[in-house]
Amino acid sequence: MKKKKPATTINLEDFELPCSKPGDESIGEDGYDRNQALEDIENGLPTSVIKVGGFKDEVDNFTSWQVEDHFFIYPWPNDKFDWALIRITWDDNWGRWGVDSCARIAGESDPLKAAQRMLTALLATWSLSESLCAGQN
């Protein structure tokens, strides 16, 4: 008898990252380079992370601001979930990068399918289409 595959479960609640969370990296008055700050954060992530994409955009509402997000997944080190999704995000107002926990998934062994499912669920909560991230790194 074939073993039934468990249902896929996506959890969008905040969670503590199992790695040491890189601190917010600011450009600051000392002229710390924005791209260097991003590179420093990416280099501080666990070696098991997989970059899955990102996007850049300008939001124009009552004022305008720049949005830049980079998404990564990595194996989740507990038996409740298989993968976790994190985001490195640019805060145009404060001039710094931050790292956010975004989603976890259970029941999906393929990392790219896991990433797609988590991103689709996350972007739906933001009222955005997953096509926003397609093909942009």
What's the confidence (pLDDT) of residue 22? 55
Q: Is 3 part of a structural domain of the chain?
A: no
Q: Is 5 part of a structural domain of the chain?
A: no
Cα atoms in the 13 Å half-sphere on the side-chain side of 82: 18
Tokens of 70: 């980079």
Q: Is the CA virtual torsion 13, 18, 19, 20 positive or negative?
A: positive
What's the confidence (pLDDT) of residue 9? 92
Q: Is 40 part of a structural domain of the chain?
A: yes
Number of domains in the chain: 1
What does the alpha-carbon distance between residue 53 and residue 119 come to, in Å, rounded to a whole number?
10
pLDDT (tens place) for every residue of the chain, 137 residues total: 555 556 789 999 988 876 555 555 555 556 678 888 888 888 888 889 999 998 888 877 788 878 899 999 999 877 789 999 999 998 887 788 888 899 999 999 999 999 999 999 998 888 765 445 444 44
Q: Is 100 part of a structural domain of the chain?
A: yes
Q: Is 39 part of a structural domain of the chain?
A: yes
- Find tokens 């107002």 and name the residue: 93
What's the confidence (pLDDT) of residue 18? 61
Q: Is 1 part of a structural domain of the chain?
A: no
Q: Is 8 part of a structural domain of the chain?
A: no
Q: Is 33 part of a structural domain of the chain?
A: yes
What does the alpha-carbon distance between residue 53 and residue 61 come to, in Å, rounded to a whole number?
25
Give the structural domain span for 68: 15-132
Long-range CB pairs of 106-111 (<8 Å, 24+ gap) are: 106/6, 106/8, 106/9, 106/11, 106/80, 106/81, 106/82, 107/5, 107/6, 107/7, 107/8, 107/9, 107/82, 108/8, 108/82, 108/83, 109/82, 111/50, 111/73, 111/83
What's the confidence (pLDDT) of residue 15? 84
What's the confidence (pLDDT) of residue 20? 55
